[in-house]
Structure 1
Amino acid sequence: MASVSLRGIKKQYENNSVIKGIDLDIEDGEFVVFVGPSGCGKSTLLRIIAGLEDITEGTLEIGGRVSNTIEPARRGIAMVFQSYALYPHMSVAENMGFALKLAKVPKAEIAERVGRAAEILQIGHLLERKPKALSGGQRQRVAIGRAIVRKPEVFLFDEPLSNLDAALRGQTRVELARLHRELNSTMIYVTHDQVEAMTLGQKIVVLNGGRIEQVGTPFDLYERPANKFVAGFLGSPRMNFFEATLAADGGRSAGVLLADGARVQVAADVARAQAGARVTLGVRPEHLQIARPGGQGGGLGAGIQATVALVEYLGDVTLVYAQVAGAGEMVAVKCDADTAPPKTGSQVELVFPATRAFLFDADGRVFDPGWVESTAEPLAQPARP
Structure 2
Amino acid sequence: MASVRLQGITKQYDNHPVLKGIDLDIADGEFVVLVGPSGCGKSTLLRIVAGLEQVGSGTVNIGDRLCNEVRPAERGIAMVFQSYALYPHMTVAQNMGFALKLAGVARAEIDERVARAAQILQIGHLLERRPKALSGGQRQRVAIGRAIVRKPAVFLFDEPLSNLDAALRGQTRVELARLHRELNATMIYVTHDQVEAMTLGQKIVVLNGGHIEQSGTPLQLYERPANRFVAGFLGSPRMNFLPGALAGEEGSAAHVRLASGALVRVAADATRAAPGAAVTLGLRPEHLRIEAQDAQEGGFAATVTLVEYLGDSSIVYLQAEGVPDMVAVKSGAAQGALAAGARVTLAFDPAHGHLFDAEGLALPRALPG
Deviations along 1:274-309, one digit per CA (max 9) or x if unpaired, are: 00100000000000111144997xxxx521111111
Q: Does 1:321 align with 2:317?
A: yes
Report the secondary structure of 1:261's partner residue: coil
Aligned to 1:381: none
CA RMSD for the aligned pairs?
Answer: 1.3
Report if the CA contact (8 A) 1:84-1:143 is conserved.
yes
Aligned partners of 2:53, 2:295: CA distance in 1, in Å? 60
Aligned to 1:157: 157
Q: What pairs with 1:1-385 in structure 2 (closer than 5 Å)?
A: 1-293=1-293, 302-371=298-367
Farther-moved stretch of structure 1 (88-97 vs 362-371): 362-371
Partner Cα distance (1:250, 1:48) in 2: 50
Distance 2:281 2:322 in 1: 14
**Correspondence for 1:376:** none
How far is 1:371 from its partner? 3.7
Deviation for aligned residue 1:156: 0.2
Distance 2:13 2:218 in 1: 32
C-alpha distance 341-176 of structure 1, shift in aligned 2 (>3 A): farther
CA distance in 1, matches of 2:102, 2:294: 75
Shift of residue 14 of structure 1?
2.3
Superposed CA offset, 1:346-371 (max 9, x none): 11111132110000001111000134
Tell whether the 8 Å contact from 2:158 to 2:190 is kept in structure 1 after alignment.
yes
Percent of aligned positions that are identical: 71
Unaligned runs of 5+ in 2: none
CA 1:293–1:306 in structure 2 vs 1: closer, same or farther (change >3 Å)? closer
Secondary structure of the residue aligned to 2:17 is: strand
The corresponding residue for 1:382 is none
1:249 CA drift (Å): 2.0
- The letter for the 1-side match of 2:305 is A
TM-score normalized with structure 2 length: 0.98
1:340, CA displacement in angstroms? 3.6
Provide the rounded CA distance (Å) in 2 between the counterparts of 1:213 and 1:250.
31
> Does the 8 Å CA contact 2:300/2:346 hold for their aligned counterparts?
yes
AA at the equivalent of 2:345:
E
Q: Give me the whole-angstrom Cα distance separating, in 2, the residues matched to 1:8 and 1:20.
A: 8
Q: Matched residue of 1:226: which SS?
A: coil
Is the Cα–Cα contact under 8 Å of residues 280 and 361 in structure 1 kept in the other structure?
yes
Which amino acid in structure 2 is aligned with residue 33 of structure 1? V
Structure 1: gaps spanning 5 or more residues: 374-385
- Matched residue of 2:265: which SS? strand
Q: Matched residues in 2 for 1:352 and 1:364: separation?
A: 21
- Counterpart-to-counterpart distance in 2, 1:196 and 1:316: 22
- What is the distance in 1 between the residues matched to 2:196 and 2:301? 35
